[in-house]
Chain A
């Protein structure tokens, strides 16, 4: 064996350790980079006699990761995105109803009935009639406001859905371009980048990710492929309107089959937009129309101080809470409010009492109007509570998985510092080897 071999081995050791220190530096630099997976230089057991080692290449850098945890994390992130958005939107709906404030519909309805009771105490009083009219106007305004607010919220959500779709499509484009570059040549940096983008995407929609052998990924959504080798498509939405309320549907740009998205924040937006809001609006409409029809029915039987009967209290045959109005006759002249069963008896309060009693009638699904509204509110409350609970527990799950991932892929400063010292010592030792070889050769030359 020639002494010069020692030079070669030592040179190799120097380079190896330099490369290891370089990797340590990279790890330390990226200690706070989200999605960065720590690197390690893979060195193989070298070096037998006469063998020649190659220089280390970047490919030999190993990304430390556990694909099982990474995969779980994607799924749980997707759920977290959904629950978080769901909670936020439902809380919004809850604050629109604004219970138990005095301005809430529950209280306003109660005040409306109480005004009828006061009128029953004083059927002759012009003031009591004006109060009934004013409370009725407050009631209709509240119904109108609730309807409009819910409608506005839905419009906001619609805008949000479109933004999210743009975001999804941008992310898809990024993944596609990373896919193509990775196909040409594998790089740890690009893999990290793609993982980060996929994680972002998973917060938005419930994607399914599969890694191919050639570093590419296939991403599908509801069984339809969004991205695969040299292929990518876009998500498009279509809006249809039902009773003035938007219903969003999704499909692929080049396909016709509707996509069922129920995960991620987009899934939550979709659910609230297509199901929750129309459901609450529907119940609000039922409440408003039942109340108006029943009050009208009773009021029509009564006589007012002009001796007229068959006067509508509310505008009749209204379908939506938004259109609920006190009839123009009553708005113009509160004296046209009927209180009596027969004409010409101003002290008769039979009709006023009968209208006051409507609140105790089981008019909708075997419940009273206020119970129907109460169940709407407690239903909404449970939904918000459930969403909040799910968000909380899901946050814990995601945090836990992130910790597990970081336990494997994260950078530990102490570890890197220890490695640094280790590699530094090895580097010093390697240079000492060269020195030794040099001394050896010098000694030989001196002999000559």
Chain B
């Protein structure tokens, strides 16, 4: 084959250009730490990374939901525990008052005490978390859920549940509607006891001890319900966090540059580039012209 000047120039320029190009690709990969900077770098890997990243963001969202729900459940639990304390105290009062040694005056004093307790408990049941009534069903910002007129405690909310998304296809009910509190008959039994105390009715007082016991147990079962909910959230949270760690390493494997490899490659490309430059300066000086006198 005849080798002509234009061929030499064209080929050398093409080598230099190629070396420069792969150097620049490697350079930007090293600088950015990423191998995938656009879909066209590797469409398959890119779409995988996109999906993983979406899953990761979704998990973060769920974790956020769980955090939010945990706050709500913590404050619900605190109130339920307080209500349980109160119901035990009320039972103590009933037992104390059921004693035949007690007279009407003593019982009236206890009735006074009990009435204050009822008011405090209604106050507890009307607690707000971040400006929302905890025991109002979904009517979190409408009327005060429990009202007490001295004769009866009325529930004004609804019995709807509030759900939180804890994971994909996994909704968790986080609220205890006030109707469930009403169903424990706690307030009803307390008022019955108070009236019995006011009426100095020893039989009715004795009867209410058992009723209060039942109510206290009902409250306790709500509490354990919340406890298992807490566990559920904790488990889901751990699972989501583990899954995110895994996703992170998948993403990193797919899109991050293997620095050792990239730098080694860059160095060898640099050598090739220098060699190409050296060849050009040598070749261009080669000519018959140099040898003709």
Chain A contact residues, CB within 8 Å of chain B: 31-32, 91, 94-95, 99-100, 106, 110, 114, 117-118, 120-122, 124, 340, 344-350, 353, 356, 360, 370, 374-375, 377-382, 384-385, 388, 395, 399, 402-403, 406-408, 410-415, 417-418, 421
Contacts and interface: CB of A to CB of B under 8 A. Distances in A.
B28 interface: no
A377 B165 contact: no
Given A94-B40, A348-B138, A378-B39, A413 B165 contact: no
B4 A412 contact: yes
Given A399-B10, A406-B7, A346 B139 contact: yes
Contacts of B47: 374-375, 377-378
A124 B43 contact: no
Interface of B: 1-7, 10-11, 14, 36, 38-44, 46-47, 49-51, 53-54, 57, 61, 64-65, 68-69, 130-132, 136-142, 158, 160, 162-165, 168, 171, 175, 287-289, 292
A414 B131 CA distance: 93
A32 B6 contact: yes
Contacts of A415: 2
Contacts of A350: 163
Contacts of B287: 413-414, 417
B160 A348 contact: yes
Given A403-B7, A410-B7, A353 B165 contact: yes
Nearest to B39: A381
Contacts, number: 158
Contacts of A417: 287-289, 292
A349 B57 contact: no
Interface of chain A, helix or strand or loop or mixed?
helix
Contacts of A356: 165
B51 A407 contact: no
A120 B165 contact: yes
Contacts of A388: 40
- Nearest first, the 10 closest Cβ-Cβ pairs linking A and B are A381-B39, A347-B140, A410-B4, A384-B40, A381-B43, A345-B138, A348-B138, A347-B138, A378-B43, A346-B141
A257 to B, nearest CB: 37
A402 B292 contact: no
B4 A406 contact: yes
A107 to B, nearest CB: 9
Contact of B142 (A122, A345, A360, A384): A345
Given A370-B54, A378-B47, A347 B40 contact: no
B131 A410 contact: no
8 contacts: A118-B64, A120-B65, A121-B64, A345-B137, A345-B160, A347-B136, A360-B168, A406-B10
B140 A94 contact: no
A26 to B, nearest CB: 15
Q: Which of B38, B46, B164 lies at the interface centre, i.e. has the most chain A CB atoms within 10 A of its CB?
A: B38
A118 B69 CA distance: 12
B141 A124 contact: yes
A375 B137 CA distance: 43
Given A346-B140, A403-B10, 7 more contacts: A120-B65, A346-B141, A347-B132, A347-B141, A377-B46, A417-B289, A418-B288
A385 B36 CA distance: 13
